[in-house]
Structure 1
Amino acid sequence: MTSLHTNPLFDRLDSAERILVAGAGGGFDIYAGLPIALSLIHRNKRVQLANLSFSALEGLPLDSWLAPDLAVITPETSLHQVYFPERTLAQWLALHGYPGRVHALSRTGVQPLRDAYRALIERYDIDAVVLVDGGTDILMRGDESGLGTPEEDLTSVAALAAIEGPDRLVVSIGFGVDAYHGVSHGLVLENIAALDRDGAYLGAFSVPRTTREGALFVDAVAHAQEHTPDHPSIVNGSIAAAVRGEFGDVRFTSRTGNSELFINPLMSLYFAFELEGIARNCLYLDRIEHTHLIRQVSSAIETFRDEVLQRPPRQIPH
C-alpha cells in the first residue's frame, strides 16, 4: 500500500533503471509521454522512446533498422516526407541537449509488433515499460457505444501483455479529447472505476505548467506544430493548451475549424494503470491476438462489435 503523499506511478518506476516510454496509438502519441520521460531522465534514469508510427517507414535507409518492424530515428534520418513525428521529436530532443533518438515501430498486427517490442526490450535490457495514450480510447473495453480509434492502442496493449519480465504500465492523458471520435467520457469514468475495483488503477496526477517538464512539453508541442503545419496534433495541442491554463474553445490549428473545443484542466491529468489490468478488461483482446496486419485488427473488432450488446453513452451531470 502506498502513502497519500507519494505518486504511485513514479513509486513503481523508482527501482527501474532502464525504462521504455512508448506511444501506443501512433501519430504524435509519444509526445503525450514526454513529461513522464523527461521527469525520469531528470532523475538519471536511462530512458528509451518509441512510437507506433504512421510514417512510411519502408522508405528508411537500411542502417535505420534494428529488427523487423523496428527502426531507430535520429535528427538526420532521411525520409522524404514532412509528417514524421518521430524525427521531429528527435530533432527537438537534440536541440535541448537530450539524446536525439526515437524508435519507430511499424503499424502492424499483434504478432509482428510483439516481436518488435521484444527486440527493443532485449536490446536495451528494459526493466519497465510505460505505454502512453494521448486520449482515452485505450481504456475502452469494447462494448461501449463508441470506441474512438482503438486499433493501434489495443494492438500495442496486446503485444506487450504477453511479454514477461519488465514492469508494464499504461498512462492516459487528454481526458475529453476523444469526445470528437464518439467516446462517452461517462463510460470512460465507469471503466476507470472498474479498473480500480480490479486493482489495476494507480491514480491520477497533473502536469503543471510551472514544472520543468510541463514547460518543456509545451515547447515540444509548439516545435512540432511549427514543423508539421499541415497536420499538427489536435490531441497534444489540446493537452498543451490545458497545461498553459487555457479554457474553452481554444484555437491552435485550422484543423479544428468546424468543431467547438472544450479545453479544460482535466486534459492535463495523467491516469495510470497496470497494463495487465487493461488487457484483462478488454473484451476482444483474444480476437486480435493472432493478427499480423492492422486491417485484420480492424476486422476483428468490427466482427466483435456486431455480436456484443453495446452500453449506451453515460452523461456526466452538469
Structure 2
Amino acid sequence: MTALHLNPLFARLESAERVLVAGAGGGFDVYAGLPLALSLRHQGKEVHLANLAFSSIEGLPLDSWLAPDVAVVTPDSAPHQTYFPERTLAQWLALHHLPSTVHALARVGVQPLRAAYRALVEHYAIDAVVLVDGGTDILMRGDESGLGTPEEDLTSVAALAGLEVPERLVASIGFGVDTYHGVSHGLVLENIAALERDGAYLGAFSVPRATREGAAFLDAVAHARSRTPEFPSIVNGSIAAAVEGSFGDVQFTSRTRGSELFVNPLMGIYFVFELEGVARRCLYLDRIEDTHLIRQVGSRIEAFRDELPRQRPARRIPH
C-alpha cells in the first residue's frame, strides 16, 4: 500500500532499473507514453521505447532487426517513407540530445508479438513494462456496445500477459477521445470501477503543461504534426490540446471534419492499472491467444461478439 502523496505509477516502478514504455495500439501511441518515459529518465532509470507499428517496416535493412518482428528505428531509418511515427519520434529525441532509438513491433498476432516482446525484454534485461494506450478502448472487456479499435490494444495486452516480467502496467491517457470511434465513456468509467474492485486500478494523475515532461510532450506532438502534416495524430493532437487548456470541439485536422470533438481536461490524465487485471477482465482474451496474424485477432473478436446474447448498452454520463 502506497501513501496518498506518492504517484501510483512511479511508486510501483521505484525499484525498477530498466523500463520498456510501449505504445499498445499502433500509430502514434508511443507518443502517449512520452511524458512517462521522460520522467523515468529524469529519475535516473534506463528507458527503452517501443511501438506497435502501422508503418511499413518490412523493407528495413537486415541490420535493423533486433529479432523477428522487432525493428530498431533510428532518425535515419527509411527516409523515403512519409508516414513513420517511430522514426519521427526518434528524430525528435535526437534533436533534444536524448537516446534516439525507437523499436517498431510488427502488426502481428499474439504469439509472434509475445516472442517480439520477449526478445526486447531479454535483450535489455527489462524489469518493468508500461503499456500505453492513447485512448481508453484498451479498457473495453468485449461486451460493450462499442469497442473502438481493440485488435492491436488487446493483442498487446495478451502478448505481455504471457510474459514473466517483475512489473507490468497499463497506462491510459486521452479520456473521451474514443467517442470518435463509438466508445461509451460511461462504460469506461464502469470498467474502471470494476478494475478498482478487483484491486487492479492504481489511480490517476495529470500531465500539466507547466511540467518539463508536459512541455516536452507538446513540443513532440507539434514536431510530429510538422513532419507528417498529411497524417496528424487525432489522439495525441486531442491530448495536447487538452494539456494546453483547450476545450470543446477543437478542430486541428481535416481528418475530423464532420465530427464533433470533445476536448476536455480529463484527456490529459493517465489512468493506471495492473496489466494482469486488465487481461483478466477481457472476455475474449483466451480466443486470441493462439493467433499469428492480426486479421485472426479481428475475426476472433467478431465471432465472440456474434455469440453474445446481448451487449451492454452505452451509459450516459449525467450532465
TM-score range (shorter-chain normalised) is over 0.9
Matches within 5 A, 1:115-194: 115-194=115-194
Q: Distance in 2 between matches of 1:165 and 1:256?
A: 39
Q: Distance in 2 between matches of 1:240 and 1:69?
A: 30
Instruction: Quote the offset at 1:81 in angstroms.
Output: 1.4
Q: Distance in 2 between matches of 1:165 and 1:302?
A: 30
Q: Distance in 2 between matches of 1:185 and 1:262?
A: 12
For 1:311, the equivalent position in structure 2 comes to: 312
Tell me, what secondary structure is at the counterpart of 1:186? helix
Alignment deviations for residues 134-165 of structure 1 (CA, whole Å, 9 cap, x no partner): 00000000000000000000000000001013
Instruction: Quote the offset at 1:261 in angstroms.
Output: 1.3
Q: Which amino acid aligns with 1:133?
A: D
Instruction: Quote the offset at 1:62 in angstroms.
Output: 0.8
1:3 is the counterpart of 2:3: yes
Aligned Cα RMSD in Å? 0.7
For 1:59, the equivalent position in structure 2 comes to: 59
Q: Which amino acid aligns with 2:277?
A: G
Q: Percent identity?
A: 79
Contact 1:239 1:267 in 2 (8 A): yes
Instruction: Quote the offset at 1:2 in angstroms.
Output: 1.1
For 1:29, the equivalent position in structure 2 comes to: 29
For 1:281, the equivalent position in structure 2 comes to: 281
Structure-1-length-normalised TM-score: 0.99
Q: Distance in 2 between matches of 1:166 and 1:231?
A: 36
Instruction: Quote the offset at 1:303 in angstroms.
Output: 0.2
Instruction: Quote the offset at 1:80 in angstroms.
Output: 2.6
Q: Distance in 2 between matches of 1:73 and 1:166?
A: 26
Alignment deviations for residues 10-44 of structure 1 (CA, whole Å, 9 cap, x no partner): 00011001000000000000000000000001111
Q: Distance in 1 between matches of 2:140 and 2:170?
A: 13
Tell me, what secondary structure is at the counterpart of 2:58? helix
1:77 is the counterpart of 2:77: yes
Contact 2:129 2:165 in 1 (8 A): no
Q: Distance in 1 between matches of 2:255 and 2:281?
A: 34
Q: Distance in 1 between matches of 2:243 and 2:266?
A: 10
For 1:105, the equivalent position in structure 2 comes to: 105
Structure 2: gaps (5+ residues): none
Q: Distance in 2 between matches of 1:17 and 1:58?
A: 32
Instruction: Quote the offset at 1:79 in angstroms.
Output: 5.1
Instruction: Quote the offset at 1:95 in angstroms.
Output: 0.2
- Equivalent residue pairs, number: 318
Q: Which amino acid aligns with 2:61?
A: P
Q: Distance in 1 between matches of 2:251 and 2:43?
A: 35
Q: Which amino acid aligns with 1:206?
A: S
Q: Distance in 2 between matches of 1:187 and 1:252?
A: 27
Q: Which amino acid aligns with 2:159?
A: A
Instruction: Quote the offset at 1:124 in angstroms.
Output: 0.2
In 2 relative to 1, CA 288–268 (structure 1 residues): closer, same or farther, beyond 3 Å?
same
1:270 is the counterpart of 2:236: no
Tell me, what secondary structure is at the counterpart of 1:145? coil
Q: Distance in 2 between matches of 1:103 and 1:165?
A: 18
For 1:257, the equivalent position in structure 2 comes to: 257
Contact 1:59 1:79 in 2 (8 A): no
1:199 is the counterpart of 2:199: yes
Tell me, what secondary structure is at the counterpart of 2:202? strand
Structure-2-length-normalised TM-score: 0.99
1:298 is the counterpart of 2:301: no
Tell me, what secondary structure is at the counterpart of 1:76? coil
Q: Distance in 2 between matches of 1:264 and 1:149?
A: 21
Alignment deviations for residues 149-205 of structure 1 (CA, whole Å, 9 cap, x no partner): 000000000000010133100000000000011100000000000000000000000
Q: Distance in 2 between matches of 1:233 and 1:196?
A: 30
Q: Which amino acid aligns with 1:127?
A: D
Contact 2:26 2:52 in 1 (8 A): yes
For 1:87, the equivalent position in structure 2 comes to: 87
Contact 1:60 1:79 in 2 (8 A): no
1:242 is the counterpart of 2:238: no
Q: Which amino acid aligns with 1:63?
A: D
Structure 1: gaps (5+ residues): none
Q: Distance in 1 between matches of 2:150 and 2:174?
A: 15
Q: Which amino acid aligns with 2:316?
A: Q
Q: Distance in 2 between matches of 1:219 and 1:58?
A: 29
Alignment deviations for residues 60-114 of structure 1 (CA, whole Å, 9 cap, x no partner): 1111001000010000112531100000000000001101100000000000000
Instruction: Quote the offset at 1:251 in angstroms.
Output: 2.2
Alignment deviations for residues 208-227 of structure 1 (CA, whole Å, 9 cap, x no partner): 01000000000000000011
